[in-house]
């Protein structure tokens, strides 16, 4: 294998070539012959590949606005020395660990912080730090499945795909609920399906920020609907998927609380999204009485109700450090700033005559999809049918928003310069009041 030849193909895009993809996988293939790489020159080439990869990521970072990842880290250098150790938090977070190489103390400290935020006493909750929002949803719904084995899972069609994955994995009967035009669960459709299936318990997924539109389901109204339909507290289980907005709503005045003082069963949140962590992670908390008692596994000196078993021991430390540095005051400021910046982007798009929607308390701005895939790639935009969105995370400044807006307006002149191509009608996607297509303008 000639590493030099492969390395030459690993190109870092310049500002003018920012649409270029990251390093092709074929250029990173590994040799099965050890002698091919065991020399100083080859190791230098490996270092060069990694250096170029780092440069590429650094250049692309300011264009990462379409997916909900907070890349604004302030503490990676401080915590980097930990990488010389293997930290594995296997087993129950609250059980003693058979080795010294773990971070369970940090894990429990983080869990206690979220338990306090969501108003459940230390001795009343159980939870763990997951690999991400998907695992949190899988565990939350697993708890509901074990608690109500014959229960039907109700989830809106705008729910994260992990909810439907859980239904398949656990062979749960599923009722998909329609959504309102803004992405919220359709409460009338939910009620009608609950009434039809009153003979079976209900396991309900509530979205605290849907994946694409950032819609927030009304937890209080869903609880009231269950009661109106005759479901007693022991005949339903509510899981709250708060992956993105779970760290925004608690710090915004007039936003409805997510709290265990209400009859919910579990909450999951992503740690790498709004809070920010260099590796995917999440926090899952449920009521202690809902977790099945598992027999003790002797060789790890612990029970294990987690899905993953072995868990990244670095994640709790990053989360603990970030929460300690930010505190409630900084998280509140981040929440307010992101919401204000999302409104700023929405207003700029609206003034330019571009179809756009922004839900209350959301940082996800939905607008008409670009005509050019290169533009979508350049800005790392997430898209669905005729829509695209920007998730205004901490670290996305108004300067970044202005740069995106300027680029978008320049591209739109080119896309629609012939006068024949028109922006899509998005009235069915997010409401006629938010659609600025020529047809809607003519009728308004």
Residue 82 CA to residue 317 CA, distance in Å, equals 9
What residues contact residue 335 under an 8 Å CB cut-off, 6+ apart? 247, 248, 251, 252, 274
Residues contacting 157, CB < 8 A, separation 6+ = 176, 177, 178, 179
290 near 143, Cβ under 8 Å?
A: yes
Helical packing angle, 219-228 and 187-196, nearest 10°: 30
Q: How far apart are CA 378 and CA 204, in angstroms?
A: 38
Distance CA(24)–CA(10), nearest Å, equals 7
CB 143 within 8 A of CB 285: no
- Single out the residue of 57, 50, 53, 69 nearest to residue 278, CA to CA: 69
Is residue 362 annotated as a catalytic residue, yes or no?
yes
Beta-carbon contacts of 269 under 8 Å, excluding residues fewer than 6 positions away, are 114, 133, 136, 242, 243, 246, 247, 282, 283
The crossing angle, in degrees rounded to 10, of helices 161-169 and 133-147 is 40
Catalytic pick among 103, 268, 362, 370: 362
Catalytic residues: 362
């Amino acid at each position: 294998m000639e590493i030099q030849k492969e390395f030459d193909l690993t190109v870092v895009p310049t500002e003018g070539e920012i649409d270029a993809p990251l390093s092709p996988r074929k250029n990173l293939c590994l040799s099965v012959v050890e002698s091919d790489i065991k020399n100083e020159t080859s190791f230098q080439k490996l270092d060069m590949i990694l250096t170029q990869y780092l440069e590429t990521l650094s250049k692309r970072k300011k264009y990462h606005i379409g997916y909900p990842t907070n890349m604004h880290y302030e503490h990676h250098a401080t915590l980097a020395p930990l990488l010389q150790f293997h930290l594995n938090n296997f087993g129950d977070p609250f059980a003693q660990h058979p080795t010294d190489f773990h971070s369970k103390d940090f894990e429990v400290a983080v869990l206690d912080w979220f338990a306090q935020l969501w108003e459940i006493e230390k001795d009343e909750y159980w939870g763990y730090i997951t690999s991400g929002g998907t695992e949190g949803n899988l565990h939350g719904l697993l708890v509901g499945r074990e608690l109500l084995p014959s229960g039907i899972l109700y989830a809106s069609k705008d729910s994260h795909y992990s909810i439907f994955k859980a239904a398949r994995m656990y062979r749960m009967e599923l009722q998909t609920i329609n959504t309102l035009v803004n992405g919220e669960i359709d409460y009338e459709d939910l009620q009608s399906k609950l009434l039809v299936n009153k003979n079976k318990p209900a396991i309900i997924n509530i979205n605290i920020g849907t994946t694409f539109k950032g819609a927030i389901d009304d937890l209080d109204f869903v609880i009231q609907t269950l009661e109106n339909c005759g479901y007693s507290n022991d005949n339903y289980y509510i899981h709250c998927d708060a992956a993105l907005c779970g760290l925004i709503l608690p710090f915004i005045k007039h936003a409805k609380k997510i709290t265990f003082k209400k009859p919910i069963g579990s909450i999951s949140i992503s740690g790498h999204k709004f809070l920010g962590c260099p590796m995917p992670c999440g926090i899952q908390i449920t009521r202690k009485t809902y977790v099945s008692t598992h027999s003790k596994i002797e060789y790890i000196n612990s029970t294990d109700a987690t899905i993953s078993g072995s868990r990244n021991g670095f994640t709790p430390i990053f989360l603990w450090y970030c929460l300690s540095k930010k505190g409630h005051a900084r998280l509140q400021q981040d929440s307010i700033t992101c919401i204000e910046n999302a409104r700023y982007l929405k207003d700029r798009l609206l003034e330019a005559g571009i179809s756009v929607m922004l839900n209350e308390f959301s940082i996800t701005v939905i607008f008409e999809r670009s005509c050019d895939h290169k533009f979508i790639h350049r800005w790392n935009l997430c898209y669905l049918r005729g829509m695209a969105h920007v998730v205004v995370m901490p670290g996305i400044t108004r300067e970044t928003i202005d740069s995106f807006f300027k680029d978008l307006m320049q591209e739109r002149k080119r896309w629609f310069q012939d006068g024949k191509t028109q922006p899509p009608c998005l009235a069915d996607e997010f409401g006629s009041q938010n659609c600025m297509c020529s047809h809607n303008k003519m009728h308004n």
